[in-house]
Amino acid sequence: MTQPEAKPEDIHPEFAERARKLFSGPISFLKSAPSLQFLPDADCPEVAFSGRSNVGKSSLLNAITGRKSLARASVTPGRTQELNFFDVGPIEGSPAFRLVDMPGYGFAKAPIAVVDKWKRLVRDFLRGRVVLKRTLVLIDARHGVKPPDLEMMKMLDGAAASYRVVLTKADKVKPSELEVTLASVTAEARKHSAAYPVIFVTSAETGQGIADLRAAILADVEG
């Protein structure tokens, strides 16, 4: 059963439960790819996670998978310059797929050569990975969309790689501030051809939005 595109609150409980069981099942690190020649075989669907350094990508990955240290945060922002692949499933009734942890972007102190290498790796991956079903662009709820986020969104637009925008660290801001940020990010997403209009609001600390995001990932995999 493929879940149609809908607001998070419209996700059917049975679909959400199937997503929960899938992410509670077998998940394991597969490999790291510093360049395209090291990519795993394109033999199952993939969903990629992208975001600025310190956006909380590792924490969100751990929250979605119910693990404490599946994804490890780099001590130095911008240090991790590889694509990290994780196998998920399968379980009865749900397919196997992969999560892809992309290198964080927006690292101001990185050498130009490192930034150029990152851009080439990510751009080539987005354009040429036929099994990439969706990319998640993580935006810090405390800051909203920043220039590096816009650059990433434009890169995805140019690659015709559809993506969902996910607000992270929602517990770190007041509800009134979160409402303003959500409205601003939603307005920005509507300007981009490859972006879904529905924004997911999450917190790895409180669990807010995690179940909805799991269901969306499963829908993307099966879509």
Instruction: Say what the pLDDT of residue 82 is.
Output: 87
Single-letter residue type at 111: P
Overall domain count for the chain: 1
CATH number, domain containing residue 76: 3.40.50.300
Tokens encoding 158: 């140019």
Please check whether residue 86 lies inside any domain of the structure: yes
Instruction: Say what the pLDDT of residue 213 is.
Output: 95
Please check whether residue 77 lies inside any domain of the structure: yes
- d(Cα 112, Cα 119) in Å, to the nearest integer? 11
- d(Cα 115, Cα 215) in Å, to the nearest integer? 33
Find out whether 153 and 163 touch, Cβ atoms under 8 Å. yes
Please check whether residue 3 lies inside any domain of the structure: no
Instruction: Say what the pLDDT of residue 80 is.
Output: 59
The enclosing H or E element of 216 equals helix 210-222
Instruction: Say what the pLDDT of residue 74 is.
Output: 46
Please check whether residue 47 lies inside any domain of the structure: yes
Range of the domain at 34: 8-222
Please check whether residue 2 lies inside any domain of the structure: no
Note the helical H segments in 10-111.
13-24, 57-65
Instruction: Say what the pLDDT of residue 4 is.
Output: 38
Nearest CA to 60 out of 217, 169, 174, 199 is that of 169
Q: How many contiguous H segments (helices) and E segments (strands) does the chain have?
A: 6, 7
Instruction: Say what the pLDDT of residue 15 is.
Output: 83
Please check whether residue 39 lies inside any domain of the structure: yes
- d(Cα 119, Cα 125) in Å, to the nearest integer? 10
Count other Cβ atoms within 10 Å, centred on residue 108.
9
Residue 159 half-sphere exposure, CB side, CA atoms within 13 Å?
A: 25
Please check whether residue 170 lies inside any domain of the structure: yes
- C-alpha separations of 175 from 7, 68, 139, 178 in Å: 19, 27, 16, 5
Q: Which residues contact 54 (CB under 8 A, 6 or more apart)?
A: 77, 104, 140
Low-confidence ranges of the chain (pLDDT < 50): 1-6, 74-79
Tokens encoding 196: 């879904």
